[in-house]
Amino acid sequence: MGNYRHLMVYFCCCSMIFGILDVIVQPNILTYKSAFFMVVDMKRRNFAPWFGKFAVYALCGSFGIAIYGIAIHFVYRFFALERQGRIRYFKGAFLIFWFSIPLVGGAAWFLVTAYVFPKTKMETEYIRSIVNETFNMDIGDCAYNAGVFFPLDENGKQTIIPVILLFIPFGLLFTLPIFEIDCQFLAAIITLIFAIYPAVDPLPILYFVDYYRIPVIDFFKTTKCRAKRVGMDSIGSTVIE
């Protein structure tokens, strides 16, 4: 089996760690409208708040390690099927390099879970009712990580500009070829959409946030008043002449 046995042992150890964490954390995973989240009842499991958060982050990180481990397995199998001697890149110091990739990837998953999908007021209110209805849990007693594709702003409106102008077009561009679907229709507009997005994206903020909306409105009012004054001055000078 060569160095493949080392990969198998490494992957089995990573999977065992993930399994142990899964038994300890016992997460509940659910989707609701445009949100996906994993929630853990800290009260029933007697977790301290800090430990509940850390356990969720660690579970996501160990899952990332397992996923990268599977990917490395496929790389090794691909080299083996090629029969071009590339399996030598899994020997000696190279093997340490391959082992480090899942660890780095798992650390990245841990940090992304902690800093990109943290527990915030917006996500809490978004999933509060469904968590109570589905799991009979108070969201205040839970540790969770959640992502919301169409978040609600303070006025209850959804901010979908990035989804329409960025995520959907580029998502289709990279996904459709997997199913051998021609996406030539996107080629002509994808760069235009990407160029327009930076100009369109700030508009909701300029409208909904008072700190920006009021100065913008005042600027246009001032400009309009100046235009009227210039017109009045022009008419007055004409009459005097």
Residues 6+ apart with CB under 8 A from 43: 138, 141
Contact 38, 29 (CB under 8 A): yes
Query: For 10-24, 37-51, 101-115, 155-169, which range has the lowest pLDDT when averaged over its residues?
Result: 155-169
The enclosing H or E element of 216 equals helix 210-240
Q: pLDDT tens, 219-241?
A: 777 766 665 555 555 555 444 44
- pLDDT 10s digits, 34-82: 888 999 999 888 899 899 999 999 999 999 998 898 889 888 888 888 8
b/e 123-148 (16+ beta carbons within 10 angstroms → b): beebbeebbeeeeebebeebbbbbeb
Q: What is the DSSP letter of 117?
A: S
What is the domain partition of the chain in residue ranges?
4-152, 162-240
> Over pLDDT 70: what percentage of the chain?
82
Count of CB atoms situated within 10 Å of the CB of 98: 19
CA distance readout (Å), 149 to 22, 50, 146, 164, 193: 26, 27, 10, 11, 19
Q: How many residues does the chain have?
A: 241
Residue 106 has a pLDDT of 94
